């Protein structure tokens, strides 16, 4: 007898992985250059040169320090440096003891959900959302995942729908700005209104409602867009951060949980996060990349390439009649599909070797995600195919 839910999860590959694998097999048939794979959010911009230099320096130094275990919460000196870097940027006064280093944002989220969950608890996510939230919340932590339907006009928070989802069982909300998959950045107004709602509801229910801010795309913004630093607006915030996208290091698995001392029960919350990390067997975050992150925290990969891609794709598609909220960050576009059934639309797109992900997977049917962390040339060559796809629909109507 095995854990049936785990067997089912292991057998059911995510749609994104499914499409990615399809793309690989299709590439073997027609050539890689003829498959336009917009399915996966794997940064195509290389890590900054300073990352390579840091790796070389660390590898040339003391091998025990480079590769050994660190404290479970991460090396104390590294945590101190990362806290100082956060303080310089946001004018905060955190110490290294507010940080718990993790194997990327995925681990940061998993330990946070596990640390917070008591029997009967509910977590709220906002559609469109990163599909793994549901897996971490339900199958990982054993809590209920409640989805707030989207506000499709701008993909800011739909407060009327949020109001219907909040109740005394709500333990925390998850926000993700800049957002995967919409690319939308929550405005300061949205964050202020959310903080007000949560303060009122925490008071009404007699317990804190935490706000988990999942921020792997924090630095990937365009046109001077400002990403509000959420702990400045709402005290009971927990930040889950990752260097996967900002430093183009997704395979190296490095990130952190920030537990601000102002958050309710912060000392016990931090202890619970350490406990959850232990239960989940994380031991410590990758040792070498803890040190790389400390050295390179102030830098980012060259995001100008993503901006060029966004502009090319957004302008190209909207001119053809696709309807899309202009993304201010991350590297995704989330247009409406040209038929209500987004899965059928993705199947039709496949006929042109355009690989897109149905919005249904993100809790927002009628849309598709286009991941534009690809070569700019790929987008240039794909645009005429998007035009043909649109022409097919013009003919059908």
* Positions that interact with ligand PLP (CB under 6 A): 41, 104-106, 130, 176, 180, 214, 216, 242, 244, 250, 255
Nearer Cβ to ligand PLP, position 130 or 386?
130
d(CA 347, CA 2): 35
CB of 53 to ligand PLP, least distance (A): 22
> Residue 391: which residues within 8 A CB-CB, separation 6 or more?
none
Measured from the Cβ of residue 266, the count of other Cβ atoms closer than 10 Å reads 17
CB of 331 to ligand PLP, least distance (A): 10
CB of 215 to ligand PLP, least distance (A): 8
CB of 105 to ligand PLP, least distance (A): 3
Nearer Cβ to ligand PLP, position 176 or 300?
176
Strand 332-333 and strand 368-371: pairing? antiparallel
Which pair of structure tokens corresponds to residue 51? Answer: 């990352």
Nearer Cβ to ligand PLP, position 37 or 386?
37
> In 3D, which of 23, 18, 16, 25 has the Cα closest to residue 130?
16
For tokens 């998007």, what's the residue?
Answer: 386
Nearer Cβ to ligand PLP, position 101 or 389?
101
CB of 255 to ligand PLP, least distance (A): 5
Measured from the Cβ of residue 199, the count of other Cβ atoms closer than 10 Å reads 15
CB of 40 to ligand PLP, least distance (A): 9
Kind plus residue range of the DSSP H or E element containing 349 = helix 342-350
Q: Across-strand partners of 310?
A: none
d(CA 141, CA 168): 18
Nearer Cβ to ligand PLP, position 129 or 386?
129
Nearer Cβ to ligand PLP, position 158 or 180?
180
Q: 205-243 burial string, b = 16+ CB within 10 Å, else e?
A: eeebbbbbbbbbbbbbbbeeeebbbbbebbbbbbbbbbb
């Amino acid at each position: 007898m095995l854990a049936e839910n785990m067997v089912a999860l292991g057998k059911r590959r995510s749609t994104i992985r499914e499409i990615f694998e399809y793309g690989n097999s299709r590439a073997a048939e027609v050539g890689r250059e003829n498959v336009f794979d917009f399915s996966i959010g794997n940064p195509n911009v290389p890590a900054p040169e300073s990352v390579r230099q840091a790796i070389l320096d660390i590898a040339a130094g003391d091998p025990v320090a480079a590769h050994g275990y660190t404290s479970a919460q991460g090396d104390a000196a590294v945590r101190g440096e990362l806290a100082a870097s956060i303080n310089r940027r946001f004018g905060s006064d955190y110490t290294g003891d507010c940080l718990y280093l993790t194997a990327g944002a995925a681990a940061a989220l998993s330990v946070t959900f596990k640390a917070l969950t008591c029997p009967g608890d509910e977590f709220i996510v906002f559609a469109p959302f990163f599909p793994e939230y549901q897996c971490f919340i339900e199958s990982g932590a054993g809590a209920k995942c409640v989805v707030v339907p989207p506000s499709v006009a701008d993909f800011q928070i739909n407060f009327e729908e949020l109001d219907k989802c909040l109740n005394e069982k709500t333990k925390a909300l998850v926000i993700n700005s800049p957002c995967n998959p919409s690319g939308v950045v929550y405005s300061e107004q949205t964050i202020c209104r959310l903080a007000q709602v949560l303060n009122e509801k925490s008071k009404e229910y007699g317990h804190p409602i935490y706000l988990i801010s999942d921020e792997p795309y924090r630095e990937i913004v365009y046109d001077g867009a400002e990403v509000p630093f959420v702990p400045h607006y709402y005290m009971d915030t927990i930040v889950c951060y990752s260097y996967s996208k900002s430093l183009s290091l997704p395979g190296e698995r490095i990130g952190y949980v920030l537990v601000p001392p102002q958050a309710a029960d912060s000392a016990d919350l931090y202890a619970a996060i350490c406990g959850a990390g232990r239960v989940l067997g994380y031991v410590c975050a990758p040792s070498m990349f803890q040190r790389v992150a400390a050295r390179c925290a102030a830098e980012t990969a060259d995001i100008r390439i993503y901006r060029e891609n966004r502009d090319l794709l957004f302008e190209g598609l909207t001119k053809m009649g696709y309807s899309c909220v202009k993304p201010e960050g991350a590297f995704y576009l989330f247009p409406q599909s040209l038929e209500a059934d987004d899965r059928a639309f993705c199947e039709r797109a496949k006929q042109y070797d355009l690989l897109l992900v149905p919005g249904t997977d993100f809790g927002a049917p009628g849309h598709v995600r286009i991941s534009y962390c690809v070569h700019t040339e790929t987008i240039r060559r794909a645009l005429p195919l998007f035009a043909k796809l649109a022409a097919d629909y013009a003919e059908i109507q």
